Amino acid sequence: MTSLQWGGRFSAPPDAALLAFGSSLADDLVLAPFDVRTSQAHVDALAGGSIVDAPTAAALHDALQTVATEIEDGRFAEFARGSGAEDIHGAIDARVRELQPQAGASLHAGRSRNDQVATTLALYAHDRARTGAARTQSIARHLLARAAEELNEGTLLAATTHMQPAQPVLLAFWLQAAAEPFVRAAHRFAAAAEFALHSCPLGSGAVAGSTLPLDRQAACKRLEFSQPSRNAMDAIGTRDVVLDVANACVRALADASRVSAEIVLWATPGFGYVRLGDASSTGSSLMPQKRNPDIFELVRGCASEVAGLYVGAVSSTIGLPLSYHRDLQETKKLALGACERTLAALDAFERALRDTSFERDAMRARAATGYTIATDVADALIAAGVNARDAHTLVGAVVRAAEDAGRALDEHDLLELANEAGLKKLNAPLDAAASVAAKKTSGSTSSDAVRAGLASLAAELETI
């Protein structure tokens, strides 16, 4: 039995090397369970339109269930690789025909690989988007739990801008800032999952629909799509659903890469803010003392890799005329690669994050270094009636003098600033804890604001 789904109009077999070049089987294996579901729905459409009788439909469903079992236990991959099929879709068709020769010959009636692939990709996109949503929600929940713990501890650190000491903040505030993007990522994944099942391509055929009375509603019902696609040409020629999920993957992994970059920096002796656990660290083959943050570095690198795959996937659709073109096989490969790599990287990121502990004393010790309370002093001048420009200039001059003397800002600096500004006294924070406590705006690093922010974020997570 030939595994190819075409060939009647050809008088010679295809060039083996060219057939191998055109094969996508190695990239398609991940689609196998979704293609079986697509085929099961197509059997319902055939039966609903009385294109096949009940015994034939039952035989096809039996064969497809056998294939599903073989996919689950790993046996089917070996069959597919040895089948000579061009892709996973052809391999499943070949296996069904092997299991049920007579009924199997009817499986592809009214169907093209064009609508078959488009539907299978939609099911895959839905599944991977749901996984992405669950994974980013789990990361966010872990960060929120750590934030609540550190809020109770009152752990302080010096926040940075341009990687320079900026202002004191609560570590809980940093953890909330790390969690926020993953909640947004979960929203994007959830939206992509919903959109993936909006419009079912199955029944579109190769480009123009079918003259056979396929029951498209039956197929939609089995696969839980909202409705059949409205236009066959568009349905078989678009890859929007899988590109949307790949886009969500790029964004989520970019978020993970930023947190990873900071943890890599914090793990250096120059900071010493975190300690990497044994389970998520690696050593050196030469240097016995090394404890390397390889997982976080790999996540950072994966973000660039996935961004490249996504750009390649989108670029492969640019300039294509409407309808199906084989270029879309490359779109599929790149988009699948982006999704699979991202989900693996997010899992590794969360595992390593859970195995990382914070060095609270090291953070507290440096929370006010680098004159991080200078902005609070300037704010105190403004609150006392000094205009913002003059306040900035006055405090800058005092910081310069203190820096030259190798000391921190103190009460004498506040007295000098009060005299310069014509004030009797200047009340301003001179330590990190007082700086944090002095914040008045919502969304700030004060304990009350962080507590409210964490509660709001946790509530939002439950709505996704």
Any idea which residues carry the catalytic annotation?
162, 284
Q: Which residue has the tokens 């922010």?
A: 453
Beta-bridge partners for 168: 158
Beta-bridge partners for 199: 227
Cα–Cα distance measured from residue 79 to residue 56, given in angstroms and rounded to the nearest whole number: 24
Helix residue ranges per DSSP H, 316-387: 327-354, 360-365, 374-383
Cα–Cα distance measured from residue 306 to residue 379, given in angstroms and rounded to the nearest whole number: 44
Cα–Cα distance measured from residue 154 to residue 255, given in angstroms and rounded to the nearest whole number: 25
Tell me which amino acid residue 285 is.
Answer: S
Cβ–Cβ < 8 Å for 126, 436: no
Helix residue ranges per DSSP H, 49-87: 54-73, 75-82
Cα–Cα distance measured from residue 368 to residue 348, given in angstroms and rounded to the nearest whole number: 34
Q: Which three-class secondary structure string do you get for 142-156?
A: HHHHHHHHHHHHCCE
Cα–Cα distance measured from residue 137 to residue 31, given in angstroms and rounded to the nearest whole number: 25
Cα–Cα distance measured from residue 310 to residue 243, given in angstroms and rounded to the nearest whole number: 8
Query: CA angle at residue 213 from 212 to 216, to 5 degrees?
Result: 115
